Structure 1
Amino acid sequence: MKYLNNLLLCLLAGVTFNAYAQAPALKRVDPAFWWAGMKNSKLQVLLYGDNIATATVSVKYPGLVLKKVNKVENTNYLFVDFDIAAAKPGKFDIALTFPNGSKASYAYELKQRNTTNKKLMGVTNKDLIYLIMPDRFSNGDPSNDKVSGMRDQSLSRDSLYTRHGGDIKGVINHLDYLKDLGVTAIWMTPEIENDMKNASYHGYAATDFYKIDPRYGTNDLYKTYVDECHSRGLKVIKDVVPNHCGSEAWFMNDLPFKDWVHQWPKYQQTTYKDQPAMDPYRNDMDWKLQVDGWFVPTMPDMNESNPFVAAYLTQNYIWWIEYAGLDGFRIDTFPYNDLQFMANWMDAVHLEYPQFSIFGEALVNSVVSQAFYTGGATINQKFDTKLSGVTDVAIKEGIYESLNGHFGWMSGVSKLYDVLSQDFIYKDPSKNVIFMDNHDMSRYFSMVGQNFDKYKSGLSILLTTRGIPQVYYGVEILMKNFSNPDGWVREDFQGGWAEDKHNKFTTEGRTASENEAFTFFKTLANYRKNSDALQNGKLMHYVPENGIYVYFRYTNNQTVMVIVNSNDTPQILETGRFNDRLLGFTKAKNVLSGESLNQLNKIKLSATTTVVLELGK
């Protein structure tokens, strides 16, 4: 009766009333805002809401051109194409009018670009990257350890696969520690939302590409983290995963297209083989399985050949660079991506940020395989990935062979020499990221049998040879364990939680051996940070003899001589065959011990050691 009375009043007043004229809710807009002045003037905005495709879209804003409204398979989506070339910063409404006369609108903003973002530093061979799993590093804000409504409510530091509570605030709290250590760049495993039921801590199953996981913090806090890093001269690398998403991603239960992710008649997993990409004798189905197969059942494979998916992903990563002021990307599972998409994506990023650094994870089994995925088409690929560098597994294996191997033509230090002698195959090998371990691998200290001499020797090579060195959190305090299961190599950094009995971030909280390792690492890392030769120098090395490998890093201003003695006995190195690089030098300083050498004809070497000498006249 009340409804009828109200209807009668409206009719008498000459007002049109429609009981069903309520506009559908606009559930999502991606990206939620953008920036004026981008070199690429195209912007594609995803609109999501119940039956939104029935709406007519209109905008009124000076300089803004509505190019096309794309209706797709699912009527809950619209993809709206704009040209923003002539548009100035400001706000405007994206107006929706539905067939029943109802209306809805979204207040969109083209922001002013941050001029400081034009000074992005990029990550180069001058840097030392420190890899952190934020859930396992430090808990700076216990209030976000559990977030109501999220699928994974686990919280137990006694379990390998539950969440432990580390967060972005915890990393911010220890930036001074990292700077003092000699680190110049930080790479965190993905910080974006992973609203998965299990093992959500690792970050590689994104459920919202535009949102920091609330158990780590907020988008604003992430931006603060980048600003805090930059204020200390630390660069920030974001770990990105274009290849796949999480099975609980916001769009997975209501896909815009059937082929938004790769679909198969029954579940098909990737082969985890990189060879089909380059194999001249391949079966095409093997290639399709490599790039279109799902990584695991909980990680659907994104269809990067779909132009709407390609635009969505490309804009997302550019959005994060501009929003937060990032310095570089690490691309997860690079060989499993659509390589044409990746090349186009690389071009789009560098159009806006020419100095921005990108390296890809390519855990492959040879120098040739690594080179195939790097830019320049240097080995008859007939295709250019545009990728600057890869994670250099070949160097890692060469260093391990130098430490743990035996003498022989292709073993011991000869293996490392052999790997580096193949650098001609790359466009620029200095952009490869060299490392000894990461969150998926057995920890370095365990891999050298917890032998402290080998530990020091290998890190001395890592921090003095070519490339961009990367270390995994805790290497400086001898964190150890093997990756079976992975959780063992993802333990907490003690001292990052208020209840920890020992604070390994402090001298007092570390054991004597941990302090010795810390001092060693800090000394060499900070020397590298200030060394012209190690940051900018050319590399010259010599054929190893009798288990001893010698190389030089040099510029016009500085020469550093590195001697690797892989023998388990002391040796005396006669230096006559290195006269072309020693010419004019009469003395040296041991970078790590501080010892002075007043003659260079014969150099005494301890067993299982790498000596780093700065030469003098």
Structure 2
Amino acid sequence: MRSLNKIILIPLLALTFLMSNTANAQDIIDRIEPTFWWVGMHNPNLQLMIHGDKIGDLNPSVSYKGVTLEQVIKVENPNYLFINLNISPEAKAGSFPIEFKIDGKLVFTYKYELKQRRKGSAEREGFCNKDIIYLITPDRFANGDPSNDTVKGMREAADRSDKNGRHGGDIKGIIDHLDYIKDMGFTAIWVNPLLENDMEKYSYHGYATTDYYKIDPRFGTNNDYLRLTEEANKKGIKIIMDMIENHNGLFHWWTGDEPTNDWYHYQSEEKKTFTSHKKFTIPDPYATNTDKEAYSDGWFDTIMPDLNQRNPLMANYLIQNSIWWVEYANLGGIRQDTYTYPDPDFMAEWSCRIMAEYPNFNIVGEEWIDQPAIVSRWQKGKINENGYESCLPSLIDFPLQKALETALNLEKKPYSDTFNSLYETLAYDFLYPDPYNLVTMIDNHDIARFYNQVNENLDLFKMGLIYLYVTRGIPQIYYGTEILINNTEIPDDHSLIRTDMPGGWKSDSVNVFTEKGLTKEQKEVKDLVKKLNHFRTDNPALQTGQLKHYVPRDEVYVLFRFDEKKKIMSIFNKNKDLTSVELSHYQELLEGATKAINALTNESYDLKKGTINVEGTSATILIIE
């Protein structure tokens, strides 16, 4: 909220300037967003949001070759002005003046910058099924710069003793450990939100944005973020930015001074209401508009106002902001939080405009539900009964994660197989236009650590981990999962799920990066993750190869991945004892094969014997020769 002194001072200054010569732009304009733009973009249109005291009383004009002022939009709040520009292909990079006048008199001139795009920017490749994603909650990963743990003037200071507080992890901490991430074999990093979250408490997670164009100073600066993407790219690692179009933080700089009366849904305090979280209302052919709006328009939380994307100015602001970060930071992808909560038509436009600008890019949306029929309707290429179309390439595969957890925890019952839920969920892939582009995972920042999900059973943990690497999709590992991080007391406590990475702070007695203090089991799992990462990267059959699987029987589930050069057979055995697997049942895919090599142990198998013995409660990966 702006101070009373500033609100009183600015009109007096503006009046003085009008009575004399021209004013300095920075004395009247608080912000112009986007802060700058680029020439040569696919979409030639650019809308500027200009904020300053009584700025709406002024009339802007532009004189620059290739740039045309198409429209000036004045809104009910005189502190805002929106101008629509057209930037033709002939426009050159450089600064151009925007003159602001009143009654024909020049008040001030603002120089707006158009930058040159990076070479090949439009053709950039997003993350894909050749990648393996490492998910990081930055506040909890590593503290590379203790001097920014607490920043003067920001509402929340660091307190590592508070599970809900800020612990000091930052961008430098990630940069410092890029070699670890590369050595482990990860090729992309999804970082939970890094934009400013100047909230009073519980701000570490980043999902309550208070400035869409500024990295939170407790994580670093915009330049630090650029350095992260540059250093990561040098090592062959893509950076995926976590974005939120549905809501922002209550202390966003425009709160209390919104451009329009419908900037937020339920903007006034007395009308505030919260989302129903009833996801089925959106695809439900019988749902009322009342119920649909109760899901889409309600606030996500008491401190997270719901953005009204049906307001075209808001919609354009959010879309341009996403494109700005892709271009500015040379991103390798976007992860969109709460993808289905905003207005569906807006999200279609948002995804389509980004993909039109970057045709080889990738965006993964969050639809947190275990129903493939609901998740699949949002993916690009899906034909929906109501005609809804999206340009969203990827979604997080929550249904497969839940099925895997269920399958591993089920106890054997007569006339049933515990792997059935996993088999059947994968069979639902006919619903997806592109199941190979789904992001798969065993855990993330919102659900219990996988080791807790399987009740700290190491054998089941390893089975689930291996399944992640041999099934279709783009595997994602949450930081610390590689060393069995878990939370036994309250497995679903988000702040404890997002625990500090051991070794990310100098005082830590255990260090994942040096392996100091790690247990035998932690080292074993870390080595397994590393081996699986590199094995998958070295074998295109596990990335883009075809998938075939057999109906589970006798607690054994077999899955094949193959291309023209290689065939890989994975055997999952939930029997507690050594099990002899009859190969004759799998001859459709083993025909002519005589030998197999265990991908993890290099043990050789003679397939002519007709059987393979596999350990109880285990997963075996075989390279078929």
TM-score tier, shorter chain, comes to over 0.9
- 1:566-581 to structure 2, matched below 5 A, reads 566-581=574-589
Matches of 2:163 and 2:120 in 1, distance apart? 40
- In structure 1, C-alpha distance between the alignment counterparts of 2:304 and 2:279, rounded to whole Å: 19
Q: What is aligned with 2:249?
A: 246
In the alignment, which residue of structure 1 is the partner of 2:389? 384
Partner of 2:571 in structure 1? 563
Shift in Å at residue 22 of structure 1? Answer: 5.8
Structure 2: segments with no counterpart, 5+ residues: 1-16
Which residue matches 2:515? 507
Q: Secondary structure at the match of 1:313?
A: helix
| Conserved 8 A contact 1:54-1:99 | no
Corresponding letter in the other structure for 2:502: Q
Aligned residues: 600
- Distance, in Å, in 2 between the alignment partners of 1:98 and 1:197 is 40
Contact 1:524 1:591 in 2 (8 A): no
What's 2:5 paired with?
Answer: none
CA contact (8 A) 1:378 1:426 kept: no
Report whether the alignment pairs 1:538 with 2:546.
Answer: yes
Moved more, 370-379 or 270-279: 370-379
| Offset from partner CA, 1:350-376 (integer Å, 9 cap, x none) | 111001101111111311111122222
SS in 1 for 2:535: helix
1:606 pairs, out of 586, 606, 615, with: 615
Equivalent residue for 2:358, pick from 325, 349, 353: 353
Matches within 5 A, 1:9-408: 18=19, 25-85=28-88, 86-99=90-103, 101=105, 103-153=107-157, 155-263=158-266, 266-407=271-412
The answer to whether structure 1 residue 412 and structure 2 residue 415 are counterparts is no
What's the secondary structure of 1:236's corresponding residue?
strand
Q: Which moved more, 1:184-193 or 1:277-286?
A: 277-286
User: Structure 1 counterpart of 2:425, which letter?
Assistant: V
The amino acid of 2:137's aligned partner reads M
Contact 1:372 / 1:381 at 8 angstroms: preserved in 2? Answer: no
**Conservation of the 8 A alpha-carbon contact between 1:89 and 1:111:** yes
Please give the per-residue CA displacement for 1:317-360, whole angstroms capped at 9, x wherever unaligned.
10001101001111100110111111111111111100110111
| Residue matched to 1:489 | 497
SS at match of 1:200: coil
Structure-2 separation of matches of 1:373 and 1:549: 30
> Is the partner of 1:604 in helix, strand or coil?
strand
What is aligned with 1:548?
Answer: 556
**What is the alpha-carbon distance in structure 2 between the residues aligned to residue 25 and residue 197 of structure 1?**
29
Alpha-carbon distance in structure 2 between the residues aligned to 1:613 and 1:175: 31
- Following TM superposition, by how much is the alpha carbon of 1:119 offset from its aligned partner in structure 2, in angstroms? 4.5
Q: Are 1:314 and 1:348, in contact at CA under 8 Å, matched by a contact in 2?
A: yes
Name the stretch that deviates more: 161-170 or 367-376.
Answer: 367-376
SS in 2 for 1:259: coil
Alpha-carbon distance change, 72 to 108 in structure 1, aligned in 2, over 3 angstroms: same
Contact 1:379 1:425 (8 Å CA) reproduced: no
Residue pair 1:139, 1:165 contacting (<8 A) in 2 also: yes
Q: Secondary structure at the match of 2:50?
A: strand
CA shift digits 1:237-270 (9 cap, x unpaired)? 1111001010000111200001111126522110
8 Å contact from structure 2 (residues 417, 552) kept in 1 = no
Structure 1 residue 514, shift from structure 2 partner: 1.0
Instruction: Work out the CA distance in 1 between the residues paired with 2:412 and 2:596.
Output: 29
Q: Deviations for 1:129-160, whole angstroms, at most 9, x for unmatched residues? A: 1110000000111111111111112x121211
> Root-mean-square deviation (CA), in Å?
1.7
Identity, % of aligned pairs? 42
Which stretch shows the higher mean deviation, 591-600 or 228-237? 591-600
Secondary structure in structure 1 of the residue aligned to 2:155: coil
Which amino acid letter does the alignment assign opposite residue 610 of structure 1? A
Structure 1 residue 102: deviation in Å? Answer: 5.8
- Residue 450 of structure 1, aligned match among 456, 467, 476: 456
Letter in 2 for 1:569: D
Q: CA deviation at 1:411?
A: 5.5
What's the CA shift string for 1:104-123, capped at 9, x where partnerless? 22211110011143442211
| TM-superposed deviation, 1:584 | 2.2
SS at match of 2:352: helix
Contact 2:122 2:359 in 1 (8 A): no
Q: Runs of at least 4 residues of structure 1 off by over 6 A?
A: none
TM-score, length basis structure 2: 0.93
Asked whether the 8 Å contact 2:196–2:214 carries over to 1, the reply is: yes
Give the equivalent residue in structure 2 for 1:426: 432
| 1:431 Cα offset (Å) | 1.1
Indicate which of 531, 539, 549 corresponds to 1:523.
531
